[in-house]
Structure 1
Amino acid sequence: MSARILDLPDPDAAAAFARRLATQLGAGDAVLLSGELGAGKTTLARAAIEALTGETNIPSPTYTLIQSYETRSGIPLAHADLYRVEDPDELDELGLEESWREGIALIEWPDRLVEYPGRRIEIELEFTPGGRRAVLRGFGGWETRLDDI
């Protein structure tokens, strides 16, 4: 499995990357965001949501677990933060599987998932001396789309 690595030296670079990613997302796509606390998962998700919806007031779903939106083209979008999920049964109530089948799902802390979506891009954010780095891995068709972002 190959990976694409992008340097994200500052928040502007991260936001630009998220906007490029947003242009590639459509119904049935899932974006799995992982990394340490403070690595920039929510920052990336917010920039992508803003690009897709035009929304500027985008709360973190840390306590609600999931926030729902509609893209400008009418595709449902779900932003989930699974950090506080302790039991896999909690995931059934969220309806995440429906989100990644029928819409776009942006999922922070995907290691809590029992089942991963088939068509997904995994983005692991890492701290570097110059800022952050994003390691991208594609599955279910995303393998050939990584170079487009």
Structure 2
Amino acid sequence: MPQHFTIASLDDLPRVAAQVQAALPGHSIVLLEGEMGAGKTTFIKALCRQLGVQDDVSSPTFALVNEYRDGRNQPIYHFDFYRLDDPQEAVNIGAQEYFDSGYLCLIEWPSRVEALLPPDRLLLTLTVTGPTSRELVISN
């Protein structure tokens, strides 16, 4: 059953990130879908803060993947496949090994590597509903 959350402003991000954190156990692959500017990276920053990441969280648009450490010193992998021209580029950086690692993988623009993604995953869909408001839907 999908869960729906209203994000009226940036002030709501910690609350919604805590709700998403509660949905994470059992899921190491988290896909973030939404149009350009919907706030995928901004939401990932809030979620990483919730998970205890002290590092600067930024979009790995050109590197394709960034690695952070959570509050338990476990890796979190943040992918941004927006600039990917061919899924083979993801294969070349070892994306499948990251996906199979069991560690949390946060993936922006997952549709560009759909064939590489494992079936067990959590989908977060961000929809712009106003200048500062968004709706976030969590589904499997």
TM-score by length of 2: 0.85
CA apart distance, 1:47 = 1.2
CA apart distance, 1:101 = 2.4
Percent identical pairs in the alignment equals: 31
Equivalent residue for 1:110? 110
Gap regions ≥5 residues in structure 1 = 139-149
Alignment RMSD (CA, Å): 2.1
Decide which moves more: 80-89 or 67-76. Answer: 67-76
CA apart distance, 1:105 = 0.1
Equivalent residues of 1:35, 1:41 under 8 A apart? yes
CA apart distance, 1:134 = 1.0
Equivalent residues of 2:98, 2:105 under 8 A apart? yes
1:31 equivalent in alignment to 2:48: no
Please give the per-residue CA displacement for 1:33-76, whole angstroms capped at 9, x wherever unaligned: 01011101001111112222431522221121110122222322
Task: Write the mapping of 1:32-71 to structure 2, written as runs, cut at 5 A.
Answer: 32-71=31-70
Equivalent residue for 1:122? 123
Structure 1: which 4+ aligned runs deviate by more than 6 Å?
A: none
For 1:106 and 1:80, the matched residues in 2 are separated by: 6
How many residue pairs align between the two structures? 137
Give the aligned residue type for 2:125.
E
Task: Name the SS of the counterpart of 1:133 in structure 2.
Answer: strand
Equivalent residues of 2:99, 2:117 under 8 A apart? no
For 2:18 and 2:96, the matched residues in 1 are separated by: 24
Gap regions ≥5 residues in structure 2 = none
Equivalent residue for 1:134? 136
For 1:47 and 1:137, the matched residues in 2 are separated by: 19
Give the aligned residue type for 1:89.
Q
Give the aligned residue type for 2:87.
P
For 1:25 and 1:137, the matched residues in 2 are separated by: 11
